[in-house]
Amino acid sequence: SAVISQKPSRDICQRGTSLTIQCQVDSQVTMMFWYRQQPGQSLTLIATANQGSEATYESGFVIDKFPISRPNLTFSTLTVSNMSPEDSSIYLCSVEGGGETQYFGPGTRLLVL
């Protein structure tokens, strides 16, 4: 399985600011995914990021709010822009595993005041 790291592991931010979350994988992968996990809730897919192309966003998520970069096959960033308290959540990146599975990073815990 892939080893995935995320930075920062947690942060406390002020309303109206932006935070960029980094995701690093120890092997080259075609597809990377960004999820949000709100307290007590399930995982919700934000977008899928392929290297060399624009990210594909799920319904309810827009590029202006969650811009994503995918500069190479081992790295991606997710920015949470113009944050509000409703953006307080855990943000997770994942990569494709074998047999249609996915492996997840440790998550970034975000609190917006």
Partner 1 sequence: QKEVEQDPGPLSVPEGAIVSLNCTYSNSAFQYFMWYRQYSRKGPELLMYTYSSGNKEDGRFTAQVDKSSKYISLFIRDSQPSDSATYLCAMREGAQKLVFGQGTRLTINP
* Interface with partner 1 (CB under 8 A): 1, 4, 40-43, 45, 48, 58, 92, 97, 99-107, 109
Strand pairing partners for 88? none
Minimum separation from the CB atom of position 82 to partner 1 (A): 26
Buried-state track 7-46, b at ≥16 Cβ within 10 A, e below 16 = eeeeeebeeeeebebbbebeeebeebbbbbbeeeeeeebb
Q: To the nearest whole angstrom, how small is the minimum distance from the Cβ of residue 90 to partner 1?
A: 8
41 or 84, CB closer to partner 1?
A: 41
Minimum Å gap between C-beta 92 and partner 1 is 6
Residue 64: count other Cβ atoms within 10 Å of its Cβ: 7
Which tokens is 102 given?
Answer: 């996915």
Among residues 23 and 112, whose Cβ is nearest to partner 1?
23
The minimum distance between CB 111 and partner 1, in angstroms, equals 13
Q: Which two tokens stand for residue 76?
A: 């991606």
| Minimum CB distance to partner 1 smaller for 16 or for 63 | 63
